[in-house]
Structure 1
Amino acid sequence: MGAQYFLSAIPFFFFIPWVIFFVPITLYCRFVLLVMTFRMIEMQGNILDSYVRTEGAWLLNPKKQIYRTNSEEDCAEQCETETKFTCRAFLFTSKDQQCLTLAENTKTAVIFRRTNAVLYEKRIYLLECKKGKGVDYRGTEAKTQKGVPCQKWVDSAPHKPNYTPEKYPAAGLEENYCRNPDGDGKGPWCYTTDPATRFDYCNIPECEVECMHCSGENYQGVVATTVSGLECQRWDSQQPHSHGYLPENFPEKDLKMNYCRNPDGEPRPWCFTTSPTKRWEYCDIPRCTTPPPVPAPGRQCLSGRGDDYRGTISVTESGNTCQHWSSQSPHRHARTPENYPCKSLEENYCRNPDGEKMPWCYTTNRTARWEYCSIPSCDGAEPEAPAVDVPEQAQITEECYQGNGVTYRGTASFTVTGKKCQAWSSMSPHRHNKTADQFPNAGLKQNYCRNPDADGRPWCYTTDPSVRWEYCNLKKCENPVQVTLPKPPQTTLEPNPDCINDNGRDYRGTVAKTARGRTCQEWSSQRPHSHDYFTPKTHPEAGLDKNYCRNPDGDVNGPWCYTTDPRKAWEYCDIPKCPPTQYECGKSKFRPKLCAQRIVAGCISHPHSWPWQISLRTRSSWPSAYKVYLGLHRERALEASVQKRDVAKLFKEPHGADIALLKLSSPAIINNHVIPVCLPKENSVLGGREECYVTGWGDTKGETELTQLKVLCLEIGMYLYLKFIFFLCQKIPHKLESSFCVDQDKFVQHGVTSWGLGCAQPMKPGVYVRVSNYIPWIKSIMENN
């Protein structure tokens, strides 16, 4: 379960070094109410820009060299200067500070998952276009310009080759890929599988640098500004705009630096911009004056996604007639022959100009804008229907899994941290080889949790671009379901030392042995294992005390430690999971302290008794610079329970009301310290007898102060306006607070701060936006985003 949405309101802009606002969690998703712009982030390039990064991946590669390095940059230097072989990739592990240079990459070697490992692949060996004669071409095209499959370079039938991997080890003669080992002026070629044709040339597009052909799919120039002059955002950055177009998800598209590219079948290259008010824009790349390369003969049947289908089917799978591509009626669109000059968009034939799952078309039915087409498969099999997400409310989950979960066939589709699983048939946001074709008996349907590689338990790739995979939120059948009665109210800040929640990042217990019985090395010590990454100085908030097991890097498998065994750098610790706890909106796990009315400045609350309270912080007035802090009691936010999130998007109330929604970059983890508050019923009105409170770290003396969370009882004013609530006895102004009222033993958020005059001044009430008036708008934003 995750929380990603928040409510807040801001009456004006602030321009001071550190501006801190405070607002409550209100919904199970990711949003907050306010008005701001985003700061541009400047990032400098380095040696890693020529590599594609994939986190949580390992490459099975027998030809490698092992080095000890302190960083990914140092490891890249080893790859660049490798003399034993041509280094195409490298692996780096931060805990071991180990670097492995590799002779192969994901095109020629098996990739599998491994925690705490990062794979870097050289871009040049991933690209699917050539420069000049294509001697350096290392793409995976494996058929001739006439569509005939290539013969493997190691085979001697049907043709005995003159060029073999043994004779030309530096020519990249892998598998049956098109290559140019003899520097032929016409470009890459291959021996064919047709006995009547010894060899033929391949149709490899030219890498475009100064100009573009077709729709600019192969553009690799350095233009980094849009048509309106905006600077492009780096592809590996998530600010100011969060997205899934990461370099590791599109390795063949050369998404490096902030250069304009076309990774997804748009009419021309584009980029995300560094302007917070403009998410993306096309770039002004000139068209080449030379003619584009001659396309390969199209197929009359479906192969792969059908990019090269050139048949004449013009009816969709539901029977609707296709609209002509050159027509704008009944549906207006940009997939025109002019915008896609190389995609054969003639007549109304089904095509796939933009990398969809299969050929499609706009329809002549006004109620159906576009649909897929049913194209016969080239191998005689029925075309696979596109994957459809099953609504979450329709999913039925098995209670548990047997053994290591290889036989699990339930419909669970969320990870231990609440992330939604990526469909197994999808390559976005994470590319992989765990498909139904490769693992036909693993039950890889939809985005259900599975264990195709016999891991310890079911897992899945996640829909979070920053987290490649995680284990699923499932119990093992051998363990009986534990029913735990609610604990008595607590006021302690310390986490349970005997067990872990989620991945145990907040664990502060005293276990100091690994699961295999090895004694842990002290975090401040460099013996027997020297390490620069995880020390009390580098991670002051991670609780790296003595030699206790900890999880400073958020490892999905839980707490770990360096060991005192010189032969083993580190190991996981065996710490049990805490029993499950049920959470309800507006109900705290810690008894709140309810101050009496008329107490100026209120009183200090019990720690974490208002778990829907968050702190919104920024160094500027740009929302991209915002940081959302959850699970804190002290304003310094040094507690182990604190969660930090960036802001992904801002939604203003369309009619100019003093209210907005902020969407978090990733879901908050619901636990004893982070629980949503309830929303009021639509258009509900306070009657004047409700028990209401305001919380915050706000100014109580007319000056800034760092303090503990305070709570104050409110007296509801006599004047209730349609969209505003006036509260008398408002004693914590100036910083973003919200008002909560008790309704059937639950706290409901009825107001968010709009404005106020002074601090605790007579006849100067605080003015709050009435949340109940905006419930339809809040629900609409959540449903559509």
Structure 2
Amino acid sequence: MEVHRAFHCLAFILITGFPGSHSQRTDVLEAYVKTDGAWIIKLPKSQYTVKTVEECAVKCDKEVSFTCRSFLYIEKDQDCVTLPANSKTDQILRRMSATLYEKKVYLLECVNGIGKDYRGTKSRSKSGKMCQRWEGTFPHLPNITPKTHPKADLESNFCRNPDEDKGGPWCYTTDPEKRWEHCNIQDCTEECMQCSGENYRGKISTSMSGFTCQRWDSQQPHNHGYIPSALPDKYLEENYCRNPDGEPKPWCFTNNPTKRWEFCTIPRCTTEPPTIVPELTCASGEGSSYRGTISVTVSGKTCQAWASQSPQKHSRTSENYPCKGLDGNYCRNPDNERSPWCYTTDPETRWEYCSVPSCGDTPGPEEPVIPEGEECYEGDGSSYRGAMSETISGKKCQFWTSMEPHRHSKTPLNFPKADLRRNLCRNPDGDRAPWCYTTDPSVRWEYCNLERCDNIPNTQESQTNPSQTATQATPVESAPSKIDCKVGNGADYRGATSTTLMGITCQAWSSMTPHQHASFTPETHPDKGLESNQCRNPDNDVNGPWCYTTDRSKKWDYCQIPDCESLKCGQPATKPKRCFGRIVGGCISKPHSWPWQISLRTRSRIHFCGGTLIDAQWVLTAAHCLERSDSPSAYKVLLGIHTEKANEPSKQERDVVKIIKGPASTDIALLKLDRPALINDKVSPACLPEKDYIVPSNTECYVTGWGETQGSGGEGYLKETGFPVIENKVCNRPSFLNGRVKDHEMCAGNIEGGTDSCQGDSGGPLVCYAQNTFVLQGVTSWGLGCANAMKPGVYTRVSKFVDWIERSMKQN
């Protein structure tokens, strides 16, 4: 074997696709993974000026100074930087308008064939011995080195196959008694899963009973909340088996109408799972890496051993969750809960969270209410403490404590004064505005959907006509050329602004002084309005119009162009707190921040239910609120109030002239008012959802009401709470609501309890925030008690009744 290791050379061929693929690629970018807003600082590097990203990819493929694993492309600067690094070897940083392209071949952790093209980071032999560095000489003097095999990527101590050994990748070991050994690396064609299959990306699409899996982007035959576009980090592709919600193994919804979902039969891999984060004795993020020895819950109960089935029977065992450290009775988080927890030895308490110390200044299970803050920012937004958690292009923000899908250093521990709680937009590093990492793996970060407080236009003169059908309100389709505002990202903006947000005059698009550029000129983009030096958006930048500047030290910058937004459904004039407190236990709303909330009352004006204004003359509520009488004259509707006493000057009072109850066995009803409500800054409608739309799992939504607070304070004032939507599949588990939730209903709440609607909130709205708008997704219907653990609230799913609502309003 010594001779074999000494003299067999490899003529290594660097391919442009996945290992084992020898077909010619017409698109050189097919060999790369793209991430917007990402940047790597690494030496050595090579820098080029190119006209297209494809040219930059060619530069990377032909790089001779080093092995090019990735490249950076900055379109506005026509700048191309080739690098020997990627996200597996170096820290990824944020940089506006930079795009990182990483070669897929260097990201794979599996082998094709004998693995001669393997470029992963495995560094242990199959018996677990640490590999010796290829350039090292101790404890073994190697025959194969980076100098003898310069094209074999013999870097660090990673397993490689420079001599085409039929046994696959190998390495010299650090064991003096064992010169070399093969490495145990998974075959790329092998359909197997690591751990519980959270990262399974295979193509098995049949359940264990042989049913074909339903496509994730389909709602037939089963409605569900696992929406691929809303959960890009879960890789819900085609109809492949996946594990997006912490089950013991991958599963899928089936194409059999009588079988909603089922596990898939996928064997566990024989190779060791990749180590992504170190094991910790404190909780970082949701605490999935906690491996400490705390074994007592927050209320002082002793934890049950994970291997035991008494007194609590469960499936959270080391066999089902082999990578989660389920040893003894220590607190752990095997299934993506908010923090470490355990089953308890108290037969009356199935499970509870544990008091595990945080690795940084992060909120625990009893997360504090978000401090009230304006939904605009001062200066650069470093002091912004509002509740926005959506980027300018509508992407959901990643939690600051999470390292998925983007690893980063902007954590509460590193920035203790930046208020990096949950996934709220913040500016911890002095950028020009609040921002966040996104949950989209292909977009590292974006600025948030916020404006500067001194740049918000006065909309008092543009109020909605009371006679307008509120649910029909639509955004302005295009900005007239004389109005200096933008619609969306401003791709069609043709206004006169010609200075950047820092006040620097723009360079003419046809000029090459002081900055040379060839990508964006009147000739290359004749339909983009590049005739002069006005701010424009020729490349569809999500952050809006920009320009090259007349400052020699600043090539380009964005412009401050306000949005052409007008008052319409789902956009309150007074921005809500959007607090993560609870109705039971308290979070008093800002007055008139939920202007669609109505109070349903008896003729003697006693409040007993809530409702939602969806049109100037129509209210949506729960059918069970109307059980006391079928006569419309038995009810009154109050709008524009904040207190239950209803003594505000803004109060509007309406009689009910028609009651229309929903289909049989559904808890929804329409109330027609005796005359339209006056739509103003204190009374306006919520938007109806798209027909049959299913709210994605974990979407943050809000409930409001004057209901029972169980003596916790705030009685008599409108209260609010925010909590996540729980997919019906999870909500119907035996330990939760045990199959009681129907397809036309939805669950929302915190599994641990403490947050819920209660008596008196029935019929009120569950609204979810998206694209700068609150949409009515649920009508408060029923629950097992108020704010009880593992008993989330149930809401009538409004999207299932859009046709009925529109038809009923039109015919009556």
TM-score by length of 2: 0.52
**Aligned residue runs from structure 1 range 219-234, under 5 A:** 221-227=202-208, 228-230=211-213, 232-233=215-216
Q: 1:742 aligns with which of 665, 677, 680?
A: 677
C-alpha distance in 2, partners of 1:374/1:750?
A: 40
C-alpha distance in 2, partners of 1:432/1:160?
A: 38
Q: 2:460 aligns with which of 486, 510, 532?
A: 486
CA displacement at 1:158 relative to structure 2: 9.3
CA displacement at 1:426 relative to structure 2: 0.8
CA displacement at 1:68 relative to structure 2: 3.9
C-alpha distance in 1, partners of 2:398/2:179?
A: 41
- Counterpart check, 1:320 vs 2:301: yes
**Aligned residue runs from structure 1 range 23-62, under 5 A:** 51-61=32-42, 62=44
TM-superposition CA deviations, 1:75-130 (whole Å, max 9, x none)? 65665566665332244455567665543211233422233343232333224455
TM-superposition CA deviations, 1:475-533 (whole Å, max 9, x none)? 88xx97999683376999856734568865564312356644311349xxx99546899
**Aligned residue runs from structure 1 range 157-306, under 5 A:** 169-174=150-155, 188-189=170-171, 205-207=185-187, 209-212=189-192, 215=196, 221-227=202-208, 228-230=211-213, 232-233=215-216, 242-243=227-228, 249=233, 260=241, 266-270=247-251, 282-285=263-266, 302=281
Q: 1:571 aligns with which of 556, 566, 582?
A: 556
SS at match of 1:742: coil
Instruction: Decide whether the 8 Å contact of 1:500 with 1:575 is kept in 2.
Output: no
Instruction: Decide whether the 8 Å contact of 2:159 with 2:169 is kept in 1.
Output: no
CA displacement at 1:54 relative to structure 2: 1.8
SS at match of 2:212: coil
C-alpha distance in 2, partners of 1:303/1:151?
A: 32
Q: 1:112 aligns with which of 93, 98, 103?
A: 93
Structure 2 runs not aligned, ≥5 long: 1-25, 219-223, 466-475, 575-594, 597-611, 638-653, 664-671, 690-760, 767-777, 782-791, 796-812
C-alpha distance in 2, partners of 1:217/1:209?
A: 18
Higher mean C-alpha displacement, 54-63 vs 677-686: 677-686
CA displacement at 1:435 relative to structure 2: 3.5
CA displacement at 1:169 relative to structure 2: 4.4
Compared CA separation, residues 455 and 387, structure 1 to 2 (3 A): same
Instruction: Decide whether the 8 Å contact of 1:562 with 1:571 is kept in 2.
Output: yes
C-alpha distance in 1, partners of 2:34/2:229?
A: 14
TM-superposition CA deviations, 1:358-404 (whole Å, max 9, x none)? 8654333456554566789xxxxx86697548869532449998875
Instruction: Decide whether the 8 Å contact of 1:270 with 1:280 is kept in 2.
Output: yes
Compared CA separation, residues 319 and 773, structure 1 to 2 (3 A): closer
Structure 2 counterpart of 1:424, which letter? W
C-alpha distance in 2, partners of 1:430/1:739?
A: 54
Instruction: Decide whether the 8 Å contact of 2:491 with 2:538 is kept in 1.
Output: yes
Compared CA separation, residues 748 and 535, structure 1 to 2 (3 A): same
TM-score by length of 1: 0.53
CA displacement at 1:273 relative to structure 2: 7.9
SS at match of 1:124: helix
Instruction: Decide whether the 8 Å contact of 1:363 with 1:369 is kept in 2.
Output: yes
C-alpha distance in 2, partners of 1:570/1:276?
A: 58
C-alpha distance in 2, partners of 1:509/1:312?
A: 62
Instruction: Decide whether the 8 Å contact of 1:345 with 1:351 is kept in 2.
Output: yes
Instruction: Decide whether the 8 Å contact of 2:35 with 2:443 is kept in 1.
Output: no
Root-mean-square deviation over aligned CA pairs: 6.6
- Counterpart check, 1:723 vs 2:661: yes
C-alpha distance in 2, partners of 1:397/1:718?
A: 37
Q: Look up the match of 1:122.
A: 103
- Counterpart check, 1:518 vs 2:518: no
TM-superposition CA deviations, 1:133-166 (whole Å, max 9, x none)? 7665544456788989877767789998877656
Structure 1 counterpart of 2:213, which letter? L
C-alpha distance in 2, partners of 1:553/1:355?
A: 39
SS at match of 2:411: coil
Structure 1 counterpart of 2:34, which letter? R
Compared CA separation, residues 460 and 148, structure 1 to 2 (3 A): farther
**Aligned residue runs from structure 1 range 12-23, under 5 A:** none
Structure 1 counterpart of 2:661, which letter? K
CA displacement at 1:559 relative to structure 2: 1.0
Higher mean C-alpha displacement, 526-535 vs 354-363: 526-535
SS at match of 1:53: strand
CA displacement at 1:286 relative to structure 2: 5.1
Q: 2:541 aligns with which of 555, 563, 568?
A: 555
Q: Look up the match of 2:344.
A: 363
Higher relative contact order (CA 8 A, sep 6+): 1
**Aligned residue runs from structure 1 range 589-738, under 5 A:** 720-723=658-661
Compared CA separation, residues 243 and 366, structure 1 to 2 (3 A): farther
Structure 1 counterpart of 2:676, which letter? C
C-alpha distance in 1, partners of 2:45/2:455?
A: 47
C-alpha distance in 1, partners of 2:556/2:793?
A: 43
**Aligned residue runs from structure 1 range 73-88, under 5 A:** 79=60, 85-88=66-69
Compared CA separation, residues 720 and 353, structure 1 to 2 (3 A): closer
Instruction: Decide whether the 8 Å contact of 2:341 with 2:351 is kept in 1.
Output: yes
Instruction: Decide whether the 8 Å contact of 2:520 with 2:538 is kept in 1.
Output: no
Q: 2:45 aligns with which of 63, 67, 75?
A: 63
CA displacement at 1:534 relative to structure 2: 8.5
SS at match of 2:105: helix
- Counterpart check, 1:508 vs 2:494: yes
Q: Look up the match of 1:103.
A: 84
Higher mean C-alpha displacement, 383-392 vs 95-104: 383-392
C-alpha distance in 1, partners of 2:537/2:48?
A: 26
Compared CA separation, residues 374 and 578, structure 1 to 2 (3 A): closer
Instruction: Decide whether the 8 Å contact of 2:632 with 2:657 is kept in 1.
Output: no
C-alpha distance in 2, partners of 1:676/1:534?
A: 49
Structure 2 counterpart of 1:741, which letter? P
C-alpha distance in 2, partners of 1:724/1:355?
A: 37
**Aligned residue runs from structure 1 range 463-474, under 5 A:** 468-472=444-448
Instruction: Decide whether the 8 Å contact of 1:413 with 1:421 is kept in 2.
Output: no
Structure 2 counterpart of 1:212, which letter? C
SS at match of 1:394: coil
Instruction: Decide whether the 8 Å contact of 2:570 with 2:687 is kept in 1.
Output: no
Structure 2 counterpart of 1:497, which letter? I
CA displacement at 1:229 relative to structure 2: 0.9
C-alpha distance in 2, partners of 1:750/1:740?
A: 18
Q: Look up the match of 2:737.
A: none
Q: Number of residue pairs matched?
A: 578
CA displacement at 1:203 relative to structure 2: 7.5
CA displacement at 1:221 relative to structure 2: 4.8
Q: 1:459 aligns with which of 415, 435, 445?
A: 435
Instruction: Decide whether the 8 Å contact of 2:547 with 2:556 is kept in 1.
Output: yes
Compared CA separation, residues 518 and 284, structure 1 to 2 (3 A): same
Q: Percent identity?
A: 43
C-alpha distance in 2, partners of 1:721/1:177?
A: 72
SS at match of 1:113: strand
C-alpha distance in 1, partners of 2:265/2:82?
A: 39
Structure 2 counterpart of 1:520, which letter? W
